[in-house]
């Protein structure tokens, strides 16, 4: 699979607020690769933006498992959290 260079904007919505990341990265058919992290299966949710050259966007939700130490029960607990995302990217020539 070949990768393409992109300019991107990724907004993550959580119960505590929203966080926007933007910059340059690479994509293949499924994933967005940034300098710090790989976002797996994000690209398949995106569709071409009408009347825009090489621009795509999409919205989707993803369930993530978070593990933390519960000091009251003195054990590690795993919870599932659903986060929503908005992704926009433009393929660079």
Structure confidence by residue, pLDDT tens digits, 15-71:
889 999 999 999 999 999 999 999 999 999 999 999 999 999 999 998 989 899 999
- In the prediction, which pLDDT does 64 show? 87
| Residue 1 scores a pLDDT above 70 | no
Rounded to an integer, what distance in angstroms lies between the CA atom of residue 92 and that of residue 7? 7
Rounded to an integer, what distance in angstroms lies between the CA atom of residue 4 and that of residue 55? 13
Query: Closest by alpha carbon to 42, among 50, 33, 51?
Result: 33
- In the prediction, which pLDDT does 59 show? 95
| Residues spanned by the domain of 76 | 4-91
Question: With contact defined as beta carbons under 8 Å apart, do 70 and 60 qualify?
Answer: no
Rounded to an integer, what distance in angstroms lies between the CA atom of residue 41 and that of residue 28? 10
Token representation of residue 6: 């992109």
- In the prediction, which pLDDT does 93 show? 74
Query: In DSSP terms, which residues pair with 32 in a beta bridge?
Result: 27, 39
- Domains of the chain: total: 1
């Amino acid at each position: 699979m070949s990768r393409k260079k992109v300019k991107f904007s990724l907004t993550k919505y959580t119960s505590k607020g929203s966080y926007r990341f933007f910059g340059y990265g690479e994509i293949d058919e499924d994933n967005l690769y940034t300098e710090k992290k790989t976002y797996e299966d994000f690209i398949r949710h995106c569709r071409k933006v009408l009347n825009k050259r090489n621009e795509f966007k999409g919205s989707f939700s993803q369930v993530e498992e978070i593990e933390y130490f519960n000091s009251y029960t003195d054990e590690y607990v795993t919870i599932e959290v659903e986060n929503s995302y908005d992704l926009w990217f433009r393929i660079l020539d």
